[in-house]
Structure 1
Amino acid sequence: MAAIPPVCDFGWPAVDATLRGVDGKTHSIFDQAGPNGLVVAFICNHCPYVKAVIGRIVRDAEDLKADGIGFVAVNSNDAEAYPEDSFANMKLFAAAHGFSFPYLYDEDQAVARAYDAACTPDFFGFNNELTLQYRGRLDASRKEASASDLRRDLFEAMKQVARTGNGPKDQIASVGCSIKWKESA
């Protein structure tokens, strides 16, 4: 069942955390920020919505570096209930798709709760003061492969954030699989 996150809460402050990355190191979310901002993306390995766009996520993360925007991905799904989202499989997923950004494991789901993440993928775009300026979709993709010439909503919004410090007023929410919460969480 698809989940849709709420609209952008402009000015909401980013939350820092230090999490284990697939590279074997621990990473602070804030340390991933570029001089003009940061994208925090909640993704996972098994979601068909993520699988359909992972190549474009990797492309946009790389392209945003030129605009001084950092990027980090976080997997918060319950890996016991969804073994494909395990840390070992995160390593394989990142390697298979050539991640050039940290892919972090939110094992206790505290980061997803702090961000009020709703789905995978769920994108949070922050300016250089680390206040929220974008919470929307990557592009018009869904679970199926889409045309490669779709408008790059996240990319264009973050380019605007890099230039002006502010995100677009009109944003279209992301759609994806709900975060797989642990029963005890």
Structure 2
Amino acid sequence: MATESPAGELGAPAPAFSLPATDGRTLTLDDVRGEHGLVVVFMCNHCPYVLGALPHLVRDAQELAAHGVNVVGISSNDAATYPDDAFERMVPFAAQWTLPFPYLYDESQQIARAYGAVCTPECFGYDAGLKLRYQGRVDASRYAPVPDARRDLFEAMREIAQVGVAQGPRYPALGCSIKWKTDE
């Protein structure tokens, strides 16, 4: 069953992190932030909603870079229950999709909890000062990319990069729930 993200508190600061990346580095929030903003996308390898949105997310990440907005993907799913989302499988996934952004692993799930992430893909868009200005979906794509879909994330982040806020509509993210560990 699909999970919809709740509305986030606009203006909230981005929680700090230091996580391993599929390229062998360990990256922090400061390492990945862009001059004019940052998008943190909670995603994973197996979710059909991620796979449906990924072509548009890759395109949008490439184009947002020209606006000084960086993107980072974070997988927080329990790999013991969902082995397709294990870190060792994230590496070939990132290569297969030629991800133009770092793909990080949140094994402890503490970062997903700090951000209040509930589903994949779920986007958190921050301004240059790392204050939350957008939370929601990439676009209307679900199990497959929707041709000519309004570019919700891209349009919001372009506006945030230019004027610091987004005036357009915010649509909640809809996707698979984050697969939380049950032995906590």
**TM-score per shorter chain, which class?**
over 0.9
Deviation at 1:148, TM superposition (A): 2.5
How far apart, CA to CA, are the structure 1 residues paired with 2:85 and 2:52? Answer: 16
Tell me which residue corresponds to 2:181: 182
Deviation at 1:45, TM superposition (A): 0.2
Is 1:73 aligned to residue 66 of structure 2?
Answer: no
Tell me the TM-score normalized by structure 1: 0.96
Deviation at 1:151, TM superposition (A): 0.7
Q: Is the 8 A contact 1:29 1:72 kept in 2?
A: no
Unpaired runs of 5+ in structure 1? Answer: none
**Cα shift readout 1:126-162 (whole Å, capped 9, x = no counterpart):** 000100000011111112x233211100000000000
After alignment, is 123-132 or 145-154 more displaced? Answer: 145-154
Deviation at 1:169, TM superposition (A): 5.6
**Cα shift readout 1:61-115 (whole Å, capped 9, x = no counterpart):** 1110010001100000000000000111101110000012110000000000000
How far apart, CA to CA, are the structure 2 residues paired with 1:59 and 1:169? Answer: 20
Tell me the TM-score normalized by structure 2: 0.97
How far apart, CA to CA, are the structure 2 residues paired with 1:120 and 1:108? Answer: 17
Tell me which residue corresponds to 1:171: 170
How far apart, CA to CA, are the structure 1 residues paired with 2:148 and 2:168? Answer: 23
Tell me which residue corresponds to 1:32: 32
Tell me which residue corresponds to 1:156: 155
Deviation at 1:184, TM superposition (A): 2.3
Deviation at 1:9, TM superposition (A): 1.4
How far apart, CA to CA, are the structure 2 residues paired with 1:169 and 1:71? Answer: 20
Q: Percent identity?
A: 49
How far apart, CA to CA, are the structure 2 residues paired with 1:31 and 1:70? Answer: 10
How far apart, CA to CA, are the structure 2 residues paired with 1:168 and 1:115? Answer: 22
Tell me which residue corresponds to 1:117: 117
After alignment, is 161-170 or 20-29 more displaced? Answer: 161-170
- Superposed, 1:5-154 pairs within 5 Å as 5-143=5-143, 145-154=144-153
Count of matched residue pairs: 184
How far apart, CA to CA, are the structure 1 residues paired with 2:60 and 2:53? Answer: 11
How far apart, CA to CA, are the structure 2 residues paired with 1:146 and 1:87? Answer: 25
How far apart, CA to CA, are the structure 2 residues paired with 1:146 and 1:25? Answer: 31
Runs (4+) of structure 1 exceeding 6 A deviation are none
